[in-house]
Structures are given as structure tokens and as C-alpha cells.
Amino acid sequence: MITLLKKDILIQKRILLFCLVYVLIIPLFFRNFENKNLIFSASIMIVTYMLLTNACALEEKNKTEVLYNSLPISRVKIVAARYLSLFLYSAVASVYYLIISNLVTLLHLPLKIYPATFEGFLGGLITVIILNSIYLPVFFKIGFVKSRYVNLFLFFGVFFGITLVSQFAKGITNPFFIKLISLFKLPQGNLLITAGIAALILVTSFFISCRIYKKKEF
Amino acid sequence: MAPVLEIKDLEKRYTGFALDKISFTLEAGYIMGLIGPNGAGKTTTIKLIMNLLKRDGGEILLFGQDYGNTIEERRIKDRIGFIYEDNFYYEDLTLREMKSLIAPFYSSWDEKTYKSFLSDFGLPENKKIKELSKGMKVKFSLVIALSHNADLLILDEPTSGLDPLIRREVLDLLSALIQDENKAVLFSTQITSDLEKSADFITLLKDGKVVFTTAKDSLLDTYGIVKGPRELLAGERSGLFLGTKENQFGFEGLVKDRIKARDLLGGKVVIEKPSLEDLIYYILRN
């Protein structure tokens, strides 16, 4: 399993550097956002999306599924490694964000970047989990080339969805709508419940993917 | 001891093609050549053996065991070295990096053997896979396949597209490997001369069916190429031939039993030992 995760890092040495640059420029796009956690969450989402997409693309390009399914390794472990890679990529994004945010503060750079928070991390991770719990079974079923638009749609759907809702929320003065929006603002307790639900979704998705992948032919 | 590989009535059905109840057995200490035209079912058979495809019927026993569950599959694959026609490595990685992503999966990975083969083949560990020639890629696959004490080597057209020198090196290595009588090689190819040099047994596939599976020497010792005047092909004698080719001077044909052919046709014909290529040509033509 560790070797499979090591593979995901080794094959993406170059793009890992690119991701560092992305984390640096993401705050520029979200500078008008009032939610301080959102930039950190967005960084996790974007870096994970990029690394997962690239790993799947490289796998399809080099047809390495044939290689790995010929080695003495179970298909369940191959699936599990793909799911675990989401946490690995989220960790990479978090480390990058910590480095960048600390550097910006230390060097007094003219960049509006908020410090990393637990809420921001959890928010990002939950989004990554929910998105990919929908995407990965589709990926295991039809492969990267056919499924990439599903991933793109999910990613941008969530991304622009959040942006639009935030913009929309800013202009609202009607007390009924303000009350309605406040229901969706998650205090820390609710965030942990959401994390629990996300974990349940992730486990369900993992078992569906295992079932699909065990039957897959190469 | 159970055969290294035993295939019984194996079936795989696709639209327009079916592997139709094929059976053959490979014992330890031997090289078996799997031969046949394009689309005969060689790669499908190999993919079924490697559990990359799911069979529709029949049985595949490796070292006496079926791919029952995950643990058995891992144990079986731990004893198999494989080379496929296409390269399935990450092109941007170096040989050292690629090896580091494969070796940990094998329980008997032998780093010393790996280094020794790399040096014998002149493969630089720091070179990227994409910088290797086709021949070097095959050699690297062979090094990986030979570095974990595999008892069965499965090779799917490994010599196609290689120059004669590298092909010879690969075949010599397989012959040397088989000196260990616990090991066996299943080798699919379209190059009959490769099989003539290295195989002990030949399994010929055509349209998803086994035409024959037998010892190479017994094939070459019993079959015969008959050359003679065309009038000999008339009447009952034509039934003697598995396949014939006629020209203005006479005919050439393949017989299954050259001693019987000599008795029947006597001094009117020339009877020669066939090459594997002749044999397969006439059988497939028929």
C-alpha cells in the first residue's frame, strides 16, 4: 500500500512543484471572500483535484493498470490506495498552504492570505471526500478518459456553486433569506457531524469501487 | 508434483470471437510456445492466465491452484514473471524508480540478481524508461521478470519488433533459465524460428481453438514435406496431405506421417523433415 502511495508521489514530481505555485496564486482569486477558511479549503480542493486527475491520466497513458494487476497485489489494495491518496494530496496541499501563509506573514508580502485553520482543513477535506466518493466509482468503472468530464463537472459545480452562493448571500437583505443562509453556516460541532457523514459516504463509495474493480477486465 | 500450468476447457466469449474450450498443460522444466495467427487467441489466453480477464468457463490451475481468493492470487502471482508485448511502465521514471515501485510486491525479490542482469544487459539505472530503445525495454522487463525467483515465466510476444541479435540474447537467456528444472516458460510468438530454437512444446491456436499441443521434436520427427509430380495428388492419395501447394513443376504438401507417406508414395517423391514454419503454414492454410 505504501509503495502504491509512493508511486503517486514519484510519478508527479513535476506537478507537485506546480501545485506550490497554485497555492500561492489561489488567494488572488479569492481575495474578495469574507470567509477566512474558504481559501485554505479551496487550496486543498484544487491541489487534490490536480494531483488525482494527473495520477489517473498518467496511469491511463502508460497503461500501468495492466502492470499492477499482474503483480502480487490485491485489487482491493489498488482501490484503497486510490482513496488513501486523497488524504495524501490533502496533506500535501495543507503543508504547501502552511509554508506559503507563513512565508507571506514573515516576509510581509503584499498578499492577502489567512492562516490555516482546523475548520478550513476539515471543510476542504470534507468537500474532497464527498466529490471523490461520487467520482471514483465512475472512474473505476469507465476509466479516466471517459470519466474526466464527470470529475470536471463535479469540481467546477461545487467550486462555482460556492462562489455564486457567497456572492448571492452578500447582496441579501431580506431577513427570511438571511435566516435561511444561517442554517447552512456550520459551527464547529456541525462540521464534525458533517465529517462523520462524509466518512460514511467515503466507506460506501470505497465498497462500491471495490465491487466494480474486482470485476474489471484489462 | 502438479504441473506448473494446466488449462482445461477454457472459454472466453466476445462478440465476433470466442476462445473455445482450449486445453493444454505445461510441466516444470519446459518451454512451451504458444503460436497462431493474429486474432487466434494468444493474448486472450495469456490475459486469462494472469487473471486480467475473467473466464466464461473452464479451469486454469497454476502450480495446482486456481485463483480462488485474494491470498491465493497473490501467492500464485508471486511465482510468476511476465513480459507483455507493450510496455506498461511509467515512461518518465528512471529504471531505478520503476524498480522501486515493483520490487516491494515480491516476497523473493533478489536485488543481487537484479543488479547482475542490469549490468549484463548494459542497462543504466538512471536512464528514463522513455529514453530506452524497444530492445532495451524488453530487456528491462526481462530483468524484472527474472529477479524474483519466478517459477513460471509468461511472455506475450516479447521478441516482436526486436533485432535478431537481441532476440537471440533473450532466447538464450530463456534456455539458460530452464536448466533449473523447477521453472517453466510459456512463450507466445508469431516467429516460428524463435520456437524452433527454444521451445520444447508447441501449442498452435487458430480462431480460438487449439489445433494441436504437442512436443516440438515429435512434430518435426513425424510430419513430412512431400515434393513430387502433380498427378500423385489425384484420387485417394490426396487425403494423405494436410495441405498442399501446386506449381507448374509439381506439388509440395504436408503429411502427418512421413514413414507412411514413403510406404505409399515410394520413390516417386522426395520427403523432407519440415521446418516449424512449413508445418504451421500448411496446417493454417488447410
DSSP assigned state of B38? T
How far from the centroid of its chain's Cα atoms is residue B162's Cα? 16
Q: Do A73 and B86 touch (CB under 8 A)?
A: no
Stated length of chain A: 218
Residue B83 main-chain phi, psi, to 5 deg:
-135, 130
Beta B224-228 vs B270-272: how paired, if at all?
Answer: antiparallel
Q: What is the ipTM of this complex?
A: 0.87
Residue A205 and residue A137 in contact, taking contact as beta carbons nearer than 8 Å: yes
What does the pLDDT look like over B212-263, one tens digit per residue? 999 999 988 999 999 988 887 777 677 788 888 888 888 888 998 888 888 8
Q: How far, CA to CA in Å, does B267 sit from each of B207, B224, B261, B262?
A: 38, 15, 11, 8
Rounded distance between C-alpha atoms, residue B154 and residue B85, angstroms:
11
Beta B250-255 vs B224-228: how paired, if at all?
Answer: antiparallel
Rounded distance between C-alpha atoms, residue B102 and residue B88, angstroms:
12
What does the pLDDT look like over A105-147, one tens digit per residue? 888 877 777 888 888 898 899 999 999 999 999 999 999 999 9
Range of the domain at A103: 2-215
- The grid coordinates of residue B99 equal 524498480
Q: Do B105 and A218 touch (CB under 8 A)?
A: no
Task: Give the pLDDT band (50/70/90) at residue A171.
Answer: low
Residue A18 and residue A96 in contact, taking contact as beta carbons nearer than 8 Å: no
Q: What is the mean pLDDT of residues B183-189?
A: 93
**Which of A152, A130, A163 shows the shortest CA–CA distance to A39?**
A163
A/B interface, count of CB pairs below 8 Å: 72
Q: What is the pLDDT of residue A33?
A: 65
Q: What is the mean pLDDT of residues B22-39?
A: 94
Residue matched to cell numbers 460506501: A204
Task: Give the pLDDT band (50/70/90) at residue A175.
Answer: low
Cα distance from B183 to chain A (closest Cα, Å)?
18
What does the pLDDT look like over B49-79, one tens digit per residue? 999 999 999 999 999 999 877 788 999 999 9
DSSP assigned state of B128? B
DSSP letters along B61-93, please?
A: EETTB---SHHHHHHHHHTEEEE-SS--S-TTS
Rounded distance between C-alpha atoms, residue B169 and residue B173, angstroms:
6
Q: What percent of chain B has pLDDT over 70?
A: 100
Taking residue A104's Cβ as centre, other Cβ atoms within 10 Å add up to 18
Rounded distance between C-alpha atoms, residue A55 and residue A61, angstroms:
10
- The grid coordinates of residue B209 equal 481453438
**Which of B283, B151, B285, B286 shows the shortest CA–CA distance to B213?**
B283
- Statement: residue B273 has pLDDT above 70: yes
The answer to which of A13-22, A183-192, B206-215 has the lowest mean pLDDT is A183-192
Taking residue A40's Cβ as centre, other Cβ atoms within 10 Å add up to 31
Residue B13 main-chain phi, psi, to 5 deg:
-115, 130
Q: Do A215 and B88 touch (CB under 8 A)?
A: no
Find the residue in B nearest to A215 (Cα).
Answer: B54
Chain B residues in contact with A215 by the CB 8 A cut-off are: 54
Domains of chain A: total: 1
Chain A residues in contact with B90 by the CB 8 A cut-off are: 7, 11, 58, 62, 64
A→B interface, C-beta within 8 Å: 2-3, 6-7, 10-11, 58, 61-64, 66-67, 69-76, 215, 217-218
Task: Give the pLDDT band (50/70/90) at residue A189.
Answer: low
Amino acid found at A128 = V
Bridge partners, residue B80, by sequence: B152
**Which of A198, A204, A47, A53 shows the shortest CA–CA distance to A130?**
A198
Out of A63, A73, A75, whose CB is closest to B88?
Answer: A63
Taking residue B14's Cβ as centre, other Cβ atoms within 10 Å add up to 11
Task: Give the pLDDT band (50/70/90) at residue A179.
Answer: low
Strand order in the sheet with B31-35: B80-83, B152-156, B184-189, B31-35, B201-206, B209-215
Chain A residues in contact with B86 by the CB 8 A cut-off are: 63, 66
Q: What is the pLDDT of residue A168?
A: 65
Cα distance from A144 to chain B (closest Cα, Å)?
16
Chain A residues in contact with B97 by the CB 8 A cut-off are: 10
Q: Do A72 and B82 touch (CB under 8 A)?
A: no
Q: What is the pLDDT of residue B282?
A: 87
Task: Give the pLDDT band (50/70/90) at residue A180.
Answer: low
Q: What is the mean pLDDT of residues B260-267?
A: 81
Averaged confidence pLDDT in chain A: 86
Task: Give the pLDDT band (50/70/90) at residue B164.
Answer: confident
Task: Give the pLDDT band (50/70/90) at residue B33.
Answer: very high
Residue scoring higher pLDDT (A180 or B93): B93
Beta B31-35 vs B17-26: how paired, if at all?
Answer: unpaired
Q: What is the pLDDT of residue A55?
A: 95
Three-class secondary structure assignment of chain A: CHHHHHHHHHCCHHHHHHHHHHHHHHHHHCCCCCCCCHHHHHHHHHHHHHHHHHHHHHHHHHCHHHHHHHCCCCHHHHHHHHHHHHHHHHHHHHHHHHHHHHHHHHHCCCCCCCCCCHHHHHHHHHHHHHHHHHHHHHHHHHHHHHHHHHHHHHHHHHHHHHHHHHHHHHCCCCHHHHHHHHHHCCCHHHHHHHHHHHHHHHHHHHHHHHHHHHCCCC
Residue scoring higher pLDDT (A211 or A166): A211
Q: What is the pLDDT of residue B200?
A: 93
Q: Do B47 and A218 touch (CB under 8 A)?
A: yes
**pTM of model > 0.95:** no
Averaged confidence pLDDT in chain B: 90
Out of B91, B97, B102, whose CB is closest to A62?
Answer: B91
Find the residue in B nearest to A57 (Cα).
Answer: B90
Task: Give the pLDDT band (50/70/90) at residue B285.
Answer: confident
- The grid coordinates of residue A90 equal 490533502
Rounded distance between C-alpha atoms, residue B147 and residue B143, angstroms:
6
Residue A209 main-chain phi, psi, to 5 deg:
-60, -40
